[in-house]
Amino acid sequence: MPGKNSCYCICLFSLILFLISGDLMFAEPNDMNVSVEKRIEELLQRMTLQEKITLLGGDETGFNSQGVPRHGIPPIRMTDGPVGVRNEEATAFPVSVNMAASWNKELIYRYGIALAEETKAKGKNCILGPCVGIHRFPLNGRNFESFGEDPYLSARMAVHFIRGVQSQNVIATVKHYACNDQEWMRNDYDVIVDDRTLREIHLPAFEYAVKEAGVLAVMSSYNLINGHHASENIQLLTEILKNDWGFKGIVMSDWVSVYSDVAAATNGLDVEMPQPKWFGDKLLAAVQDGQVSQETINDKVRRHLRVRFAAGIFENPTPQADESIIRSEVHRNLALEMAAESMILLKNDRFLPLQENKIKTIALIGPSAKVARTGGGGSSKVKPWHTVSPYEGLTRLLGDSIKVEFSEGVHIGTFQSVRIPLETIKTPDAKSNGFWGEYFNNQKLQGQPVFTRVDDNIDFDYKTGGPDPRLGIDHFSIRWTAKFTAPETRKYDFSLSSDDGSVLYINDQLMIDNWQDHGERAMTCQISMEAGKTYDMKIEFYENSGDAVIRLGWKDPADDAPEASIEQAVEAARKAGAVIVCVGNIDENESEGSDVSDFKMFGGQDELVQAIAKANPNTVVVVYGGVPILMKHWLGSVKAVIAAMYPGQEGGTALADILFGRVNPSGKLPFSYIQDRSESPVFKEYKDPGLKVHYSEGVFVGYRYYDKNNIDPLFPFGYGLSYTTFEYSNLKIVPTAGLDYQVSLDVKNTGLTAGQEVVQLYVSPKTCSFQRPLKELKGFVKVDLASGQTKTVTIRLDRRVFQFYHPDKKQWITESGDFEILLGSSSRDIKLNGLIKM
Which residues belong to the active site? 254
Strand 190-192, strand 692-694: pairing: parallel
Which is nearest to 492 in space by CA: 437, 544, 440, 553?
553
Residues in the chain: 838
Measured CA to CA, the distance from residue 387 to residue 771 in angstroms comes to 49
Dihedral angle of Cα 532, 512, 626, 609, to the nearest 10 degrees = -50
Strand 578-584, strand 89-90: pairing: unpaired
417 φ, ψ (degrees, to nearest 5) = -95, 155
Across-strand partners of 282?
A: none
At residue 144, the 3 state secondary structure works out as helix
Contact 480, 557 (CB under 8 A): no
Measured CA to CA, the distance from residue 291 to residue 274 in angstroms comes to 24
At residue 796, the 3 state secondary structure works out as strand
Which is nearest to 231 in space by CA: 191, 177, 285, 282?
177
Please calculate the CA angle 25-28-33 and round it to the nearest 5 degrees.
100
Amino acid, single-letter form, for residue 512: I
Amino acid, single-letter form, for residue 454: V
Across-strand partners of 479?
A: 438, 540
Measured CA to CA, the distance from residue 419 to residue 556 in angstroms comes to 8
Measured CA to CA, the distance from residue 529 to residue 489 in angstroms comes to 6
* Neighbour order of strands in the sheet with 361-365: 344-348, 640-643, 619-624, 578-584, 361-365, 403-407
Residue 44 CB-density burial (10 A; 0-12 exposed, 13-18 middle, 19+ buried): middle
**If you write DSSP's letter for every residue of 685-728 in order, what string do you get?**
STT-TT-EEE-TTTT--THHHHHHTT---SB-TT--B-SS-EEE
State the alpha helices, DSSP H only, in 72-167. 96-102, 105-121, 151-166
258 φ, ψ (degrees, to nearest 5) = -110, 135
Contact 585, 412 (CB under 8 A): no
HSE toward the beta carbon, residue 409, CA cutoff 13 A: 30
Q: Cα dist. 167→58, 77, 109, 170, 362 in Å?
A: 25, 17, 10, 7, 46
- Which residues of 650-809 form beta strands (DSSP E)? 692-694, 726-735, 741-749, 755-765, 776-785, 790-797, 804-806
- Which residues of 376-518 form beta strands (DSSP E)? 383-384, 403-407, 417-418, 425-426, 435-440, 451-455, 459-463, 476-485, 490-499, 502-506, 509-514
Which is nearest to 220 in space by CA: 194, 240, 199?
240
Measured CA to CA, the distance from residue 427 to residue 482 in angstroms comes to 5
Please calculate the CA angle 527-530-533 and round it to the nearest 5 degrees.
110
- In our burial notation (b when 16+ CB lie closer than 10 A, e otherwise), range 81-113 reads bbbbbbbeebbbbbbbbbbbbbbbbebbbbbbb
Measured CA to CA, the distance from residue 163 to residue 109 in angstroms comes to 7
Which is nearest to 720 in space by CA: 794, 792, 640?
640
Measured CA to CA, the distance from residue 430 to residue 285 in angstroms comes to 51
Measured CA to CA, the distance from residue 634 to residue 623 in angstroms comes to 13
